Structure formats: structure tokens, C-alpha cells
Chains A and B, each alone.
Chain A
Amino acid sequence: MAKLSLEELRSLREKEAERLAKRGIHGKDVHVVVCMGTCGIQAGAKVTLNSIVDEVEAHGLGNVIVTQAPCQGHCEEEPIVEVHTPQLGSIAYGKVDAKTAKRIVEEHIIGGKVLEDHKIKLEV
């Protein structure tokens, strides 16, 4: 690697800090949970998860954390995605394919609007 100037070091730090911040949960207030039980995976949760991670990355959303969860007992609705935000609380979506996943990121997380057509109620 070539020697850095002051400006290059600063822009490198900015870029690297973003990369490092992705690892942890500090300063993140939006939590997306993808159910990845056997039922979820066979219904296509892997594709859903990848789609969400890619969309979050593409929009540069630094405050979003995406994690996985085991089967929640609503296998007929899989793939299930839960979104927790401070504004809208906890919302669960059923039958989330890659396209719906993209909509969740754009409409729910960025736009702040619930996708009524995929919303499901999870009994606790």
C-alpha cells in the first residue's frame, strides 16, 4: 500500500469505521429478525435474509442490525421477518420473499410505513 497523506488517512478511517460499526449493536435502533428455522429455510428464508442484508448495505443504513432467530411456531407463514423500530414498535411480516424484503427495507425502515398486505399477528 502506498503511503498515506493526511486526507487519505481521514477518508480511510471514515470508510473503515463504517465497516467496523456493522459488526456490533452499538448505536443501532432498528432490529430486523429473520426466522431461520428448518421451516423458514425451506420456505426461502435464506434468500430473504440475503436480500435484506444487501438492501441495508445498498442504502447505507448504519442503524440497522439484522439477526436470525429459530422457528417461532408459525410455520405456515414462513418466511417470517420481524422488524423492531422505535417509531413503529414490533411488527411481524409473513411470506416474505426477496421482493417483499426489499419493500420492507424501503417502505418500513426508510419510509416509516407498515406494509399492511404482509403484516401478520404473532401470538406470544
Chain B
Amino acid sequence: MGFKNYILVCGGTGCESSRSDLIYRTLIDEAKAQGVADQVQVIKTGCFGFCEQGPIVKILPEDSFYVKVKPEDAKELIAEHVIKGREVTRLLYNKTPKKPLEEVEDIQFYQKQLRVVLRNCGVIDPEDINDYIANDGYVALEKALFEMTPDDIIEEVKKSGLRGRGGAGFPTWMKWNFTKQAEGEEKYVVCNADEGDPGAYMDRSTLEGDPHSVLEAMTICGKAIGAHQGFIYIRAEYPLAIHRLEVAMKQSREMGLLGKDILGSGFDYDIEIRLGAGAFVCGEETALLQSIEGHRGMPQPRPPFPATKGLWGKPTVINNVETWANIPVIIAKGGDEFAKVGTTDSRGTKVFALTGKICNSGLVEVPMGTTLREIVFDIGGGIAGGHKFKAVQTGGPSGGVITEENLDTPIDFGGLQRIGSMMGSGGMIVMDDTDCIVDVAKFYLEFTLDESCGKCFPCRIGGKSLHNILDKITIGKGTEEDLEELRQISHAMQKGSLCALGQTAPNPVLSTLRYFPEEYEAHIKDKKCPAGKCKKLIRYTIDPSKCIGCTACSRKCPVGAISGELKKPHSINQSACIKCGVCRQTCKFSAISVE
């Protein structure tokens, strides 16, 4: 007998951290206990993207979208939805039952999205190769092995206009073509899964939700450039992605989609996983190759580029996870079809990890050319907590801030560069008016400072000097000359650093200086932090006309800095105050202000 219902449970790391695995197991147990185990199939999928509302459970064929589900809800979902056909309204995202045949796309979060890279995430069971095959999986490999020459494959990628999604946006076909033309018997294919930007999880989710797409793409590339071995370099702190990759590789080998004589075509190809220890610099391609070889992960001067002299000195193609995930679609549907989406500068879609002070944080995929305003306000639902939008940081610690005035810039590689940021791998952190811009620049610098390998001095010493100056400014000891020095050191780092980590490390400093000069000035001249973040520059005061003397704040103050008699205005002892802000949160009469 066929199944009447299919329950899709999100198995991404985000939802798993809020016990989606237990929900999955409880649903199976409950289906058994209530005697409908043969009528309902429970499937664990990849990330649905709407992480803010997780854990997500979707029940088909009704397409009911349940959010913030708890393991305790499993019993009701089976008893009500599966057995009685009644949607559990309180768990629905829209809180109202759907009409028959109405699709889930009426949720605003999904309306402006186009899922190409994430086509299988939240749809298939990533641990079942049959699910992948069912959804046009390995169609592209068939075509590449039996109907296309290596040049055909590269031509198709060229037509698609695909540019590397790891950050720099180098045309993918050129990388492949250089490597194909490079001399050498042995060549390699590498997948860069060393995702390390703060707040970014696009690649992790892709691998967790659709590992076969990357395996298929790497095999196609092997055929195109004449390689027989691929490596996936992934950080050890992604255990779920590694597990799903291992399962996928095992199934592929069993079916003869990896290994010797793939599908009887005579083409041999296999893939190995290499674990990284989580150093940010190993995402830089030459450092990554060093690490695979077993050396310390330090960047090497380029040229020679990996295309001519890569892994173990052999010609190597190295692409990022998201780039790979696009390849099967390009080969299966054609480069021209792929190129219909996006802008002339950048074709296709881009996945972003939307985080920070936003209502709907999550994983979003939009056509290139979508504006930031659409992402932040339409998809993201605007700023959380009624605060005011201040800026978005794209490109992680190598990128820059984008302000209100540039929100309508269409997002593509060129567009973001022109406004002083960069595409990067897709981390997007939204800031509101309580975020201090100097503090943000300092935060990113702390990150790159920590992750600098220390090999070249512009990065090692320049980064430290920049950080010292920013620190000085945030404690109110900055001078006018400091701003000029920040710029000078930044430019020196951009010119003199060996790899992209050092060259781009000053970007957050330069971009915040460009867009928020008045905020730096306020710290330096007025010794004030407009966002109320820098502790040395702010003071909490009680407005005696509003204070009714309820003593709530003085009871909450952890250091006893607030004194006053009952029913009489209180006051704060500034020398004792540690500026934790608890009093302001406690006061019900808005009598306490920060400046």
C-alpha cells in the first residue's frame, strides 16, 4: 500500500540543535504506536532555510508548513493531521488552515527566492541516493560521460557565465580550461568546503542537504580536465556534513557512480575527504592545498596558480561548494538556460546566510540582481525589535558595510565592489542602531588578527596596529591623526600582504571609515559612542523628573551603584557604575537614559 502522508523533518544543523532529530524519532515512534506506521513516511531532509522558525516540519501532500515544532508535538501531529486530516493550526506558520491545493510558497520568506543551488534542500533525503536520482540526479553526469567531449563541457560552463562563489568571482570555465590545457599526466579536482566567515553557513547546508550534487559536479569536472581523483577539503567542525558526504560517497561507489569504469563508460574517478582543523586561512586556495599535502596551512605566492601547479605540483581545479552545486544544473539544462537568471555581470543565483538583527534569519537563495532592500526587508522581514536599520556587512571579515543609501544596489559581483564591499562567500550580517560601527570594525579585525598565519609582516603587524588604534578610539583616547594612520596602514596591508586574508583584512576598517566618518569623529572629538555600545564612552543617568523612586533599579544593580530613598528620585554613582545597562532594562518609566 502507498503512503498517505509524507512528513519532512528538517535535518540541518540549525534545526538539529533544537532537537529535530528527536522530533524525527518521536514521529516514527508515534506513527507506530498509533498504528499508522505503514501509512506515513517520515523523512529527514536538508535545510529548509527558514532557520528563524526552526525546527521545521512539513507534511505532504497537503504541504502544511509547521514551525517551531517540539518533540512533544509529534503525538498531536500524528493523531490530528495524519489520522484525522486536521491541520494542527497552532503550529502552522500562517496559523490558518490552507485551502486544498494551495502551495506553501505563500509564505513571504520564500516569495522572492529562487532555489537552484538549494534545489534539493528540504526536498530529498540527503542520505538516500535514490531520492537524489529521482530529482534528476546524475542526469548531468550521464550527459557528460556519454554525449559530451571535455571541450563541450567547458563550453557549456562558459555559456552559463558561472563565476566562482567562494568570493573572488573568477569565471569557472577559465579555471577548468587552464587546468585542461596545462601539461601533466596527473591532475586533481578539489572542493573547497572550508567555510569560515563569521555567520556563514551556506556551504555547510548545501553539503548537509544535497551532498550528491557536489560529488556529481566534481566527477563531471574530472572528465572535462582529465583528472581521476578529487578531494573535498572540509573542516572537522562540520561533523554532520562530513557524515552525509561519507554516506553519499559510499552509496555512489556501490552503484558505480564513483570508482572504476563509471556507468560502463570506461572513465575512472574517485573522491576522498580531507579534514581541516578550522583555520580561516585554509580557505585560501594555496594554503588549502598545502594543508591537504600535510603541511602547515600557509599561503604561497601566486603565480604559479593552482591551474598549472597545484596539489603536489600538479594542475588542479579548485572550486567552492556552491560553485560545484551549480554545475549539474548547467550541464543538465544547458548553459544558456542557466544564464537566463541573473545580471550580465553575474549569472545565476546566490545563496546568503542572513543573520544579525533581522526578523527572519536563515538561508536564502535569490537571483543575482536582487537588491539588498528586498533581501533585508521583504525576505528578512526587516529589523527585529523595532530598531532602525543601520548597515549590512557582506563578504565577512574581508568585505565591507553597506548603508541605507545603497540598499537599492542590485547584488552582483561588480555592484557590490563598486560600493566598497564584496560578494564574498555569502555571509550577510545585519546591524541596527545599537551596533557601534567602530566596535564592528574592531570585531572583524580581531577575527582576522586571530586567523592570520603570521607568515608575512604586513598582515601580522599591520593587523595588530590597526586593532590597537581602534581599541584606543573605543576607549576615548583616539586622536584626529589616528584616522589618517588607519588609512595608511590599511593601504599598506592591501598592497603588501601575501594573500587575500591580509589584503582584505582592512576592508571593514576602510568601508566603515568611508560610510560612517561621523561616528569615528564622535568617538574622537566628543568622546561619545552614538550607539551606546563602547563602555568607556557612555554614561547612564536617571532623569529625576521621571523617576518615581520605586527602587527596582537599585535592587537589580549588580554593583550597588544606585542609591536613593523610597519614592524619591534615585541617582547613579558614575565611578562605581560598570555600564551593564541592567538598570535601563529594569526601569518601567523610561527614566534611565544612556548617552
Give min CB distance, B131 to chain A, whole Å: 6
Partner of B263, one of A4, A24, A67: A4
A16/B133 contact (C-beta < 8 A), A5-B264, A53-B1 known: yes
Docked Cα-Cα span, A3 to B254, in Å, equals 6
Are the CB atoms of B61 and A66 closer together than 8 Å? yes
Binds A, one of B66-74, B83-91, B155-163: B83-91
Interface string of B1-33 (1 = CB under 8 A from A): 111101000000000000000000000000000
B134 touches which of A16, A25, A56 (Cβ 8 Å): A16
A13 touches B3 (CB 8 A): no
Query: Once bound together, how far apart are the Cα atoms of A69 and B86, in whole Å?
Result: 6
A23 to B61, Cβ gap below 8 A? yes
Q: Please classify the interface of chain B as helix (H, G, I), strand (E, B), loop, or mixed, using the class held by over half of its residues.
A: loop
Q: Decide if A105 is an interface residue (CB 8 Å cutoff).
A: no
Q: Contact: B1 with A50, CB < 8 Å?
A: yes
Interface hit among B136-144, B191-199, B271-279, B432-440: B136-144
| B184 contacts A by Cβ under 8 Å | no
Contact A23 B60 (CB under 8 A): yes
Among residues 24 to 55 in chain B, which have CB atoms less than 8 Å away from a CB atom of chain A? 39
Whole-angstrom distance from the CB of A1 to the nearest CB of chain B?
5
Option from B3, B83, B101, B136 in Cβ contact (under 8 Å) with A22 = B3
CB-based contact B4/A24 at 8 Å: no
Q: What sequence of 0s and 1s flags, for each residue 1-15 of chain A, a beta carbon within 8 Å of any chain B beta carbon?
A: 111111001101100
Contact check, A6 vs B101: say whether CB atoms are below 8 A apart.
no
Closest B residue to A35 using CB positions: B85
Q: Which residues of B contact A103 (CB under 8 A)?
A: none
Residues of A within 8 A of B246 (CB): none
Q: Which residue of B lies closest to A3 (CB)?
A: B256
Instruction: Give CA–CA (A25, B62) in the complex, Å.
Output: 8
- Distance of A79 Cα from B264 Cα, bound (Å): 54
* 8 Å CB contact of B84 from A20, A54, A68: A68
What residues of chain B have their CB less than 8 Å away from a CB belonging to chain A? 1-4, 6, 39, 60-63, 83-86, 100-101, 103, 124, 130-131, 133-139, 142, 146, 254-257, 259, 263-265
| A22-B6, A25-B101 given; 17 more Cβ-contact pairs under 8 Å | A1-B254, A2-B256, A4-B256, A9-B142, A13-B134, A16-B130, A16-B134, A22-B61, A24-B60, A24-B63, A31-B101, A53-B2, A56-B2, A67-B61, A67-B62, A68-B85, A70-B86
